[in-house]
Structure 1
């Protein structure tokens, strides 16, 4: 028996498919001194009872990348590690009952083909040749995924384990981690067999991840945002017709998903596996009276089929031979859910040298890609694909226990639901309310959540249809369309005011703060009294984040960034800051009111004695409506305007004064339209680590020749010398009722040449706009391309590099 290891470079806690995949990929990266701890046998958590489906389908670009990688890895894994596996690539059919679902499928098809996945959309008459036992009379069509299939979860895990061991890694079964401590900048992982000292630790504890996460609270950690759902699937007896068909065809039936009825149906040997996602779902271990057991290895919940009756009846109507088979077994086991149903992969918020790879709802489909992503985080400090969609830092401290349970249940019940761009689910709302909330509500605000903060998306008028059905559309038209147009026209012709609650506000303070920050950013820091955009790049020159800097002195700098970037950007600053420099988060203390439009100076001048002739990008402290404020002459709407930053408690008085003087409220959706016309980028929309700062068209904000080196300087200088391969452009699109969506493919003839990063209608220019990344040689103004929008190629034209609206910034600088 091998000696118990007392040291390791990386220690992974949890021996499910994800933890073992992480270990395997660390070994592939050459990190041999790594250890995995499992309290029982490998797969003892959710892995052992997982159904083992391996879809590539996703409407998230990064999650699709991850699942595509998994499917490709699994196809060659048995040969790569010399371990036999049952992996059936059967293909799958997702059924559509109506036009909106088919549009979702067309969107996914376009994304998939851009990633090399051969997704196809089918008409109703094309379904039965793939699946002869199905009723199709009421269907609108289907999406066929040739790479979908199913795999034995235990065999997958053992194959990954063999590959990890062959690569030099160590797996300790029956070795539960019982806690962690710190010594000399390293982690001490405690077990009944002894302690292990490790540089890096990974929480891959599945549905036990929250319990493991509590060990890290004393070191800056937070409660892991998750809950646990009870998920049931049932296996039928053998069905003679399926056996006969399989013998003749020499393969299994494609996996069937009736997503509008919310279940999957898969061939299991010569029977069927039915797995519903029911609305009347059940959370487990969600209250103090029902705590998670210390050990639930290889255990299940009691059967609870009554709540699945509707789905069972619907499935039997869809595939009648199902109704002639008895149920041979029911699996009812725990599955962890983050509030949005996506896993947590990446740096553990607030904790040094610690990572998370946990809370996987679809752990088998995502394990391969998740191991790759986690290994990249650990070994490189960055990932090949931008993975913000699954980054643990996307949830901050608003994601408390009640929120996680409410959103987890909602997400489970809508697992297959369409995520329309203007529709929001109601659970878990009102977590963060500004002092302006009641005023906005009285004015007709329809709210959206931004890092938990409720902001007005648009303002409804009496009689507007606010029903859920009215918002479930991929098209531009909806009850909001007329109101957004009116709000944009108000900003264009008069004066609008918007409350942008929850901006991330970080104060960098300490001797030499400016000089230290200058070595971290690729941009030049403005002088005191001015505001400027700073871009932070990784060593590849890719954009990690954007912050607005307001220097107060060489030793004090205020930084403002996106609400959702709160923990991400704070950690970016804290990770390498010397002890003499502190980073204070003041996000909850202040409110921002953007006052903008050609009449903004006239209105604001009645409320302040500040010099409103100060130039664009100037910063002034002044009283507004008798309250202390900071006036910043900027406008994300691209019109004359000021951001009024004041104490949150003073915001109602300032709001009342502004609206009383004639400023009209507008919402976030109007602001999004206005910023598109100016070509202003959004974080994790147009700006991400998928693109370099030069590809993103940010050269005017960069100071590549400045003396202090910064991360990515060498890469950006080399890229500038050879020329970027891609260029950021604005397109106007001959769109129909739907504008270009994020990651829509751009075509030149029959060649894919780029993708849309964000799109929408510009009400000031009267055109559909797409901000996009395309091949550099096509970035010349006037070049015609096609944008694929829900399966249709729509003509688009590359516009001038100047903004579409007010290209000389005359209105902005008036």
Structure 2
């Protein structure tokens, strides 16, 4: 049919800000043979009723990058594409009511400075200088962001659309996609006006993303993890004083956010826009009696002012002028939410050449950066910034409908809440539990979720405060601190046991498996009966993943990786094995115990027939407590130890016998302390695509001389020749109550020179330890740096390139 191309390189489904930004950035990358399908008019859906706020603030490094890029793009877009745009860079004032909130602001300021942003922390007496009409009672201070502002969502979308069209991309309005099919390695996107064959397809369908996602289920897809919230904002009538002030000074008021009360307040022409995120929130389209309509493009929900009345009243007390005008309109529209509030950008799990750019809670603020990221995924196969925070594969099979609804409501009701390191968000627990879960809870286990798997973070004793309120601190001091210390000391002096369900396990076997694995990883592979760590790089030589490689036979391997990496690494392995090599996943069939400490051999000798004289990095089948088990001589805790893997049904007896043998249960937070003292890296913290293997100090896992080529070899050789820009370091930090969180800024001679990737108190070395990346010339033992921890610069000293604890590894090899 005329007007519908029969082929395209990429088809994008959905014409909101994110879909159109994706098309624009694909065209900018030279991929102009792309088509966007919109079932109604552009901006239909969340975009048309969006408030249009464009913040940069985040305490997530990747989200901040994405939002910062959006502000930079929007400031030049109108001129670039010759389209008029109402983009008001007003700045913003974010209010704090507590010391903890001010610490969060200081952290954001440090991260922003590293990204080239000029965030400013204000004292209470400085706030009125930025916002003259505010009442400053009960405030502790504020954060000022000069780059914040607001934009007209419709104009933004149309400007991106014009830019994309001018470069040759096609936009088909009033052309709903009706389904997809796959034939001869190509996608066929079906519409009412005809079919389009394409190489890639993108689900950018906003709050319809779950419906669109169902089309991909026959091709390996899953139900998109999302739900839809009702979000209201209130528009007041005009306020003469505001109109007069704006006319006099020539600009609008800064956008005001009271994050502890949970609302934003923005000047809208001469009035106000008040947008609350209320705890007593409402989800929509969650049951059969309330189905999602086929078309809700330019519709709204009925007003529900009662839900937000208290928060609106608080805003009017904070800025009394807002209370002098009547309410002119209430906008109540749908916003999609993923269970953690971050969008889905990247490869569609399990589906070839399909991508997601959907479930955006802040689609206008993130839309510019999201289009950049999505275009990089498709055209380059990798992204400039590590985007695991938004990768669709971060969720696996535990995100059923009830989970998504409960978590979505929790995230919405706590939209501006602080994400304290010791706090667990309580909604939707126990999605996946180990065979000894109940026993661990009986022992005082305070649980955390890891890819949905419940693991003990620490073990409380009678009388310990285990309330949520106790965890609302950035510092390490709390009831857990003494318990973590005791757990670490037990592993150091005696023997501890950690139940670790959810390890991602892939059994790879078949003729040629050994040759495939040599080319898959950057280094060598173990001999039969041995194990070692292997790394996989992307084409830039950056760290894609780390796996434990256990060689059972000449062409039989078990690859074990982090729980959170299950779908990421599973896809990586399955997509690269040759014909004749099979991959069987056993993640859910088996459970694991870490048994570690100088008395671990004695304990196991009393309950196992294993040959406990076998050395470091060996493995064997044996029985433990009369049950079949698989023992690996390895320890992430950095002490003599074994991993004991067994089928789920066998584990309760094994665990009981280990406890009866004197092992003290320890948790994930103790393990984190123990591994940091050894300089052991954690995936998607210390190990991410933000860094190359050489920067990460992993050259010993790269074999440039092996005959097999591996992905990233050319890039790593070139980097080795010219030298790295950053180097991995271990730091001893003169920290006070707070250890260095991820992405704390490192300083030297008044300049930012790097960042931490993780930090914790080391109870064996009795010091605060941080791992990080620093400018290569400063990665010299003894170099003094400063690490900025929640606004306070603390002395940090670069340590020798060896573990702080047991540098000769004598204890591990004992």
Is the structural similarity TM-score above 0.5?
Answer: yes
Contact kept, 8 Å, 1:8 with 1:197, in 2: the verdict is yes
Q: Distance in 2 between matches of 1:648 and 1:346?
A: 33
Paired residues in the alignment total 814
Residue 464 (structure 1) aligns with: 464
Q: Distance in 2 between matches of 1:2 and 1:125?
A: 65
Residue 309 (str. 1) matches residue 272 (str. 2): no
Q: Distance in 2 between matches of 1:478 and 1:648?
A: 34
**Within 5 A, what are the aligned runs for 1:209-228?**
209-228=209-228
Residue 725 (structure 1) aligns with: 725
Residue 51 (structure 1) aligns with: 51
Partner secondary structure for residue 384 of structure 1: coil
Residue 775 (structure 1) aligns with: 775
Q: Distance in 2 between matches of 1:725 and 1:705?
A: 23
1:2, CA displacement in angstroms? 6.7
Contact kept, 8 Å, 1:512 with 1:554, in 2: the verdict is no
**Within 5 A, what are the aligned runs for 1:338-349?**
338-349=338-349
Q: Distance in 2 between matches of 1:610 and 1:426?
A: 41
User: Superposition RMSD on alpha carbons, in Å?
Assistant: 0.8
**Within 5 A, what are the aligned runs for 1:609-628?**
609-628=609-628
Partner secondary structure for residue 222 of structure 2: coil
1:611, CA displacement in angstroms? 1.2
Q: Distance in 1 between matches of 2:662 and 2:87?
A: 66
Residue 588 (structure 2) aligns with: 588
Contact kept, 8 Å, 1:25 with 1:372, in 2: the verdict is yes
Contact kept, 8 Å, 1:510 with 1:581, in 2: the verdict is yes
Partner secondary structure for residue 355 of structure 1: strand
**Within 5 A, what are the aligned runs for 1:24-43?**
24-43=24-43
Residue 244 (structure 1) aligns with: 244
**Within 5 A, what are the aligned runs for 1:240-389?**
240-389=240-389
Contact kept, 8 Å, 2:123 with 2:140, in 1: the verdict is yes
Q: Distance in 1 between matches of 2:202 and 2:377?
A: 11
Q: Distance in 2 between matches of 1:289 and 1:297?
A: 20
1:718, CA displacement in angstroms? 1.6
1:510, CA displacement in angstroms? 2.1
Q: Distance in 2 between matches of 1:263 and 1:346?
A: 30
Q: Distance in 2 between matches of 1:600 and 1:553?
A: 28
- Render the CA deviation track for 1:192-240: whole Å, top value 9, x for unaligned: 1000000000000000000000000000000000000000001000001
Contact kept, 8 Å, 2:529 with 2:553, in 1: the verdict is no
Residue 690 (structure 1) aligns with: 690
Residue 557 (structure 2) aligns with: 557
Contact kept, 8 Å, 1:733 with 1:767, in 2: the verdict is yes
- Render the CA deviation track for 1:74-114: whole Å, top value 9, x for unaligned: 00000000000000000000000010000000000000010
Contact kept, 8 Å, 1:90 with 1:149, in 2: the verdict is yes
Partner secondary structure for residue 516 of structure 2: helix
Q: Distance in 1 between matches of 2:764 and 2:702?
A: 30
Q: Distance in 2 between matches of 1:582 and 1:219?
A: 19
Partner secondary structure for residue 528 of structure 2: coil
Contact kept, 8 Å, 1:26 with 1:32, in 2: the verdict is yes
1:557, CA displacement in angstroms? 1.1
Q: Distance in 2 between matches of 1:162 and 1:721?
A: 44
Q: Distance in 1 between matches of 2:564 and 2:788?
A: 29
5+ residue gaps, structure 1, are none
Contact kept, 8 Å, 2:596 with 2:640, in 1: the verdict is yes
Contact kept, 8 Å, 1:523 with 1:533, in 2: the verdict is no
Residue 701 (str. 1) matches residue 701 (str. 2): yes
1:665, CA displacement in angstroms? 0.4
- Render the CA deviation track for 1:507-535: whole Å, top value 9, x for unaligned: 11222111112111102110111111010
Q: Distance in 2 between matches of 1:405 and 1:582?
A: 37
Contact kept, 8 Å, 1:337 with 1:408, in 2: the verdict is yes
5+ residue gaps, structure 2, are none
Greater alpha carbon shift after TM alignment, 574-583 vs 77-86: 574-583
**Within 5 A, what are the aligned runs for 1:467-482?**
467-482=467-482
Partner secondary structure for residue 706 of structure 1: coil
TM-score (norm 2): 0.99
Residue 416 (structure 2) aligns with: 416
Q: Distance in 1 between matches of 2:554 and 2:640?
A: 30
- Render the CA deviation track for 1:317-369: whole Å, top value 9, x for unaligned: 11111111100011000000000000000000000000000000000000000
Residue 135 (structure 2) aligns with: 135
1:608, CA displacement in angstroms? 1.1
Q: Distance in 2 between matches of 1:807 and 1:73?
A: 48
Residue 436 (structure 2) aligns with: 436
Q: Distance in 1 between matches of 2:3 and 2:278?
A: 48
Residue 173 (structure 1) aligns with: 173
1:58, CA displacement in angstroms? 0.4
TM-score (norm 1): 0.99
Residue 787 (structure 1) aligns with: 787
Residue 395 (structure 1) aligns with: 395
1:123, CA displacement in angstroms? 0.2
Give the 4+ runs in structure 1 shifted more than 2 A: 576-579
**Within 5 A, what are the aligned runs for 1:660-675?**
660-675=660-675
- Render the CA deviation track for 1:398-441: whole Å, top value 9, x for unaligned: 01110000000000000000000000111011000111001101
- Render the CA deviation track for 1:444-473: whole Å, top value 9, x for unaligned: 000000000000000000000011111000
Residue 94 (str. 1) matches residue 87 (str. 2): no
Q: Distance in 1 between matches of 2:577 and 2:647?
A: 28
Structure 1 pair 87–2 and aligned structure 2 pair: CA distance change class (3 A): farther
Contact kept, 8 Å, 1:12 with 1:203, in 2: the verdict is yes
Q: Distance in 2 between matches of 1:407 and 1:501?
A: 22
- Render the CA deviation track for 1:28-87: whole Å, top value 9, x for unaligned: 000010000000000011000000000000010000000000000000000000000000
- Render the CA deviation track for 1:756-810: whole Å, top value 9, x for unaligned: 0000100000000000100111111000000011111110100011100000001
